[in-house]
Structure 1
Amino acid sequence: MSLYLCVDCGGSKTSAVICDADGTIVGRALGGPSNFAYLSVEAFREAVALTVSDALKTCVSPPSVDPVALPPTEPLFAAAWFGVSGLDSPAAVAEVTPVLSELLGVPAGPRLSIANDTCLLAAPARMHPDVSYAVTVIGGTGGIAVSFKELPDGFQELGRVGGWGWILGDEGGGFHVGREAVRQMLAETDAASVRALPPPESTLVKRILERFGISSVLDVLVAVHVPDAPEGVNNGQTLPQYTMSREKRLSSLAPLVFQSAFEDADPLALRVLQSTAETFATSIAILLGEATPEAPNLVKADEAIVSFGGSLVGVEAYRKMVLDALAAKGHVFKYVAFVDDAAATGAQGLVASFKRQ
């Protein structure tokens, strides 16, 4: 019983990583989607079982071609940690716990931790014995921040901000960046009309116009507002971007903003990212401060680690913008981490936590 398992269950894939007692990764595998909110319990169990079985096959050299039967006939795992997207309530955790316990042969309790997938980003806190608080920040297509306190049997969620989806929020994520780019581009055009002068030259504007196949900034209004089309229909337009959903038409502009900002130093693109980083920091700051009887779950940044995950905050320059905006509000974290492989970091953090016990 020397193996430690971490499984990151997401809407597009399942990632399982297995470590030995020294924290060395000895097995890993990718599987199909396992968002708990989108699947039946049986389908969720099957997705997890296939992925964990495939990860176990890689634990031997050479890797086995035969499937590893689950539940195991003898104990395999010292502990397991699941981060499951779509698992947002105690009732859902209670429903899935006996299923995973039986599947892995790990009894419910301190050796089996099951929570929402944002919890996995808190894993770096387990590598720093002098902190017991973590703030996880996801900035990818969407944006969310969650604060945690580490307890002997896992992480307790303290507060969360965001993750509302593109219609209601997603500040700091790709949709927010794309929408802000279009808004500021239109604002510059409006201001220039009053001055009877052309707006400043911008590589970002050129890239956005090219993306939508238009020649005038104001034509972007049509490009953005054309309704979503049924699959396979392009609304009478000839360009493939019009077959995208309205959300993706804007979120897909984020790479253009980053390219224009950090490769071309385009002033408009830099202002867009400074604006979105400031908004994101304002949201994150809701979780931070000195705890009081009225707000007992606030976390002091200088006593916590902030752990980032997601494609946008994976860009160091943008991550620094967010951290600088937080520092300007008086929130400087004791440690900063970026997690690009949540399952691997989670498995190694799990080993570290048991070594400390």
Structure 2
Amino acid sequence: MAERLVVLGIDGGGTRTRCLAADLSGNILGEGAGGPANALVVGQERAVVSVAEAVRHALQAAGRTPDDVGAVCAGLAGAGQPETQEALAGALAAALALPAAARIQVVTDARIALAGALQGKPGAILIAGTGSIAYGLDDRGRLHRAGGWGWILGDEGSGFTIGRQALAAGLAALDGTGPATVLGDRICAAWNLQQLSQAVPRVYADPAAARTEIAALVPVVVQAAGEGDAVSREILAQAGRDLAQLAAALLRRLALPEPVVATTGGVLESVAAVREALIRRLAELAPAARVVASAASPASGAVLMARMMLG
């Protein structure tokens, strides 16, 4: 029955998945959570299991079943390529046991973050959490991006890059090739190491698994910067400048008369030094740009996109 019809908005990240079940007016009826859903990191099978878990919990909370689902929009980390999106959409359709008429769309997590942040309007979003990307919609409905190439090839200004630079700075100070910093001692305390060189086998034993642990060093850098450590302050300032470069490159392609940049992600939401450096540098690179907070969450953006799928 139409009054029982729901849409599902899914935000699948590298550590957890969130699903919102909503009616056709966008009212949230239930929420569910699952594990990591970045298929490039955990594999397609585990990603699908995480999404299915979140969907099951959301439908239970909403008092609905898979038969009541009209549309699903899943924004998943690592799903930036069309072939990846197609494969995941097929796997999810099978795993969720949806009705034949139900529509399902898989997009990158940046796409749903943009939809939530600007409520479908043209503009850009700058995301800096464990990774980073700038993503935008122009006034002709075309999507553009800058960055988001992952922890090996990109992720400028991200939590991972801040943590990696902190490790590198600590080791450089240990070698005498870089300036003195308290970061080595602080990382040893955070990771329960006797000496900083012990971090090296810990990182290289499984670099992909260490990515999240390295990104978790951001509070260590923030605390050291707050206590006056010049190296830590420069790492945070450089992160802000790098993020401004991403945003400015994207804005040039969007060519909007009144460009708006929404910000989200743990680094930009919780590290004032990075956000302040971003705003200062972006004012130089794109003076017309206005930096705003996101209007709604990525999961809410996925709900909006799912509702649009139904007209």
Q: Which bracket does the TM-score occupy, shorter chain normalised?
A: 0.7 to 0.9
Match of 1:307 in 2: 262
Tell me by how many angstroms 1:139 deviates.
1.5
Aligned-pair CA distance for 1:115: 0.9
Residues 1:161 and 2:154 are matched in the alignment? no
Task: Go from structure 1 to structure 2 and tell me whether the alpha carbon gap of 1:164 and 1:244 turns closer, same or farther (over 3 Å shift).
Answer: closer
Tell me the SS of whatever aligns to 2:107.
strand
Q: Does 1:175 align with 2:160?
A: yes
- Unaligned 5+ residue runs, structure 2? none
The 3 A distance-change label for structure 1 pair 49 and 176 is closer
For 1:87-102, what aligned pairs fall within 5 Å after superposition?
A: 87-98=79-90, 100=92
- Checking the alignment, whether the CA contact within 8 Å between 2:163 and 2:216 is kept in structure 1 is yes
- Relative to structure 1, the CA distance from residue 259 to residue 346 in structure 2 (aligned partners, 3 Å threshold; closer, same or farther) is farther
Of residues 285, 292, 298, the one that matches 1:342 is 298
Structure with more contact order per residue of length (Cα contacts < 8 Å, sep ≥ 6) = 2
1:57 maps to a residue whose letter is Q
Equivalent position of 1:235 in the other structure: none
SS of residue matched to 1:115? strand
Give the TM-score normalised by structure 1. Answer: 0.67
The one-letter amino acid paired with 1:83 is G
Counterpart residue number, 1:148 = 137
Residue 326 of structure 1 pairs with residue 282 of structure 2: yes
Query: Does 2:28 align with 1:54?
Result: no
For 1:124 and 1:350, the matched residues in 2 are separated by: 12
The structure with the largest alpha-carbon Rg is: 1
**1:30 maps onto 2:33 in alignment:** yes
Query: 1:191: how far off?
Result: 7.3
TM-score, length of structure 2 as denominator length: 0.76
1:276 is aligned to 239
Shift of 1:276: 1.9
1:49 Cα shift? 3.5
- The number of residues matched between the two structures is 302
2:13 to 4, 10, 15: 10
Instruction: Report Cα offsets for 1:253-290 as digits up to 9, x if no partner.
Output: 3211112335x45544322211221123223332221x
Between the aligned partners of 2:282 and 2:48, the Cα distance in structure 1 is 40
Residue 225 in structure 1 maps to residue 200 in structure 2: yes
User: 1:100 and 1:315 mapped to 2: Cα distance?
Assistant: 33
- Structure 1 residues 97, 203: closer, same or farther in 2, change over 3 A? closer
| Cα distance in structure 1, aligned partners of 2:278 and 2:142 | 25
Quote the offset at 1:250 in angstroms: 4.5
Structure 2 residue aligned with 1:207, among 179, 186, 189?
Answer: 186
Distance 1:182 1:148, change over 3 A: same
From the superposition, tell whether residues 248 and 28 of structure 1 become closer, same or farther in structure 2 (CA, over 3 Å).
closer
Spell out structure 1 runs of 4+ moving beyond 6 A. 212-215, 243-246
DSSP-derived class of the 2:62 partner: coil
User: How far is the alpha carbon of 1:106 from its aligned partner?
Assistant: 6.7
Kindly provide the amino acid, as one letter, of the partner of residue 136 in structure 1: I
Q: Give distance in 2, aligned partners of 1:271 and 1:171.
A: 14
**Secondary structure of the residue that 1:314 maps to in structure 2?**
helix
Partner of 1:104: 98
The verdict on how the C-alpha distance between 1:105 and 1:150 changes in structure 2, with shifts beyond 3 A counting, is farther
Change in 2 beyond 3 A, CA 1:246/1:106? closer
Change (3 A) 1:205 1:227: closer
Q: Is the 8 A contact 2:146 2:246 kept in 1?
A: no
How has the CA–CA distance of structure 1 residues 208 and 86 changed in structure 2, closer, same or farther, with 3 Å as cutoff?
A: closer
Measured after TM superposition, the shift of residue 339 of structure 1 is 7.3
Asked if the contact 2:112–2:298 (Cα under 8 Å) also holds between the matched residues in 1, the reply is yes
Distance apart, 1:347 and its partner CA:
2.0
Give the distance between the partners of 1:182 and 1:47, measured in 2 at CA: 32
Task: Give, in angstroms, the shift of residue 245 of structure 1.
Answer: 6.8
User: Root-mean-square deviation (CA), in Å?
Assistant: 3.9
The AA in structure 1 aligned to 2:147 is: V
Q: Residue type of the partner of 1:259?
A: Q
Equivalent AA in structure 2 for residue 158 of structure 1 = H
